[in-house]
Amino acid sequence: MSDTLNVDEVKRMFEYVAGAVVDSEAELTVIDKKIGDGDHGTNMALGFREVRKELRAKEFDSVNEVFHCVGMTLLDTMGGASGVLFGTLFISGIVGLTPLKAIDLAALAKIFQKSLTALKKRGKARVGDKTMVDAVEPAVAALLEAAAAGQPLAQGLAAGAAGARAGMEYTKQCVARFGRAKSFGQASLGLEDAGAVSVSIIFRAMAQWVQQNHAGDIG
């Protein structure tokens, strides 16, 4: 078997991701209450609970359709800036992309690279602004580096998850420049950004699912 995920595997991976985000609702709420509106955990759980429901209820003909379902469901159910930004994370990368029956590490890296570009354009945030971009950018860089080195999918996703976590930790060193957190100024130092934490959870769950369900399918 090749080192790729077919459509059903991508669907099941994102079901797992959705479950991980839903299970993190309390953690995200505690983090967001410190320098945010306190509703990030609730919104993320609401969006990904619907994602899991939609994925389980539907059949998909391409990887693109799975990504589109995840992104559109987040956009429709979460609302507000978070809905738009997390929807962008999953939708923008597959816009104009030829329908894929399977996806390898290089293709996955390119999808998230394109999404990162769209995310930065839409949210106007850059690394160091204490937003989800701080986690997405190093995750994408790690995926691209792993793909260029010819690493297996499981290893590449583990590197992506490590990059997202490092980016999330980096937000503790940054002063917030967006949203409610901006009003805390220097007081936001030492605290992680809730959106970056969510991104870290998403990439960690993707890596975990592949490690548990696909790591032996290389050859």
Mean pLDDT to the nearest integer, 90-118: 97
pTM: 0.95
104 falls in which pLDDT band (50, 70, 90)?
A: very high
Lowest-pLDDT choice from 84-93, 110-119, 206-215? 206-215
Both tokens of 164, joined, read 């997202």
pLDDT digits (tens, 9 = 90+) for 140-164: 999 999 999 999 999 999 999 999 9
1 falls in which pLDDT band (50, 70, 90)?
A: very low
114 falls in which pLDDT band (50, 70, 90)?
A: very high
Mean pLDDT score across all residues of the chain: 93
